[in-house]
Amino acid sequence: MNDCLFCKIIAGEIPSTKVYEDEFVYAFRDINPQAPVHVLVVPKAHIACADEISEENSAAVAKIFEAIPKIAKAEGLTNGYRIINCCGEDGGQTVFHLHFHLLGGKKLSESF
Ligand code: AMP
Ligand code: ZN
């Protein structure tokens, strides 16, 4: 049984505000936005975290980075944006399905 929150969102079992979807990628608004635009971009295939990216599954990551400029354009992020990935406990990861935070819509702080 797959108990992963983001797998359930991708499957439509838990609601989300979708902003983009293709064969490999799903993107939706973060429930607790940290910027005017805060989108989570995730692979449809379950990969737990960045540390689990390998030769076997990295094509899904490439698809995410192909989708990001399209999402950024659709969200009006013409002046730039930030992409963040949290990996593991020290990285602050709370949901263990690989995701990239796409943040923008204002000048973001230079500190992390
Ligand atoms: P991270 O801390 O990098 O693992 O990010 C997990 C993100 O998922 C946080 O920014 C949460 O606000 C977000 N989040 C958690 N549950 C949901 C949900 N049901 N829908 C949308 N975003 C969520
Ligand atoms: Zn998952």
The pLDDT tens digits for 65-92 are: 999 999 999 999 999 999 999 999 999 9
Tell which one of 3, 16, 31, 112 to mutate to probe ligand 1, the residue whose CB is within 8 A of the most ligand atoms.
Answer: 31
* pTM for this model (two decimals): 0.97
| Per-residue pLDDT tens over the stretch 14-46 | 999 999 999 999 999 999 999 999 999 999 999
Ligand with smallest separation from the Cα of 97: 2
Ligand 1 centroid from CA 28, angstroms = 10
Residue 79 has phi, psi (to 5 degrees) of -105, 15
- Which amino acids are annotated catalytic? 99
- Environment of ion ligand 2 (residues, CB < 5 A): 4, 6-7, 46, 97
Cβ within 8 Å of residue 44, ≥6 positions away: 10, 23, 24, 25, 26, 60
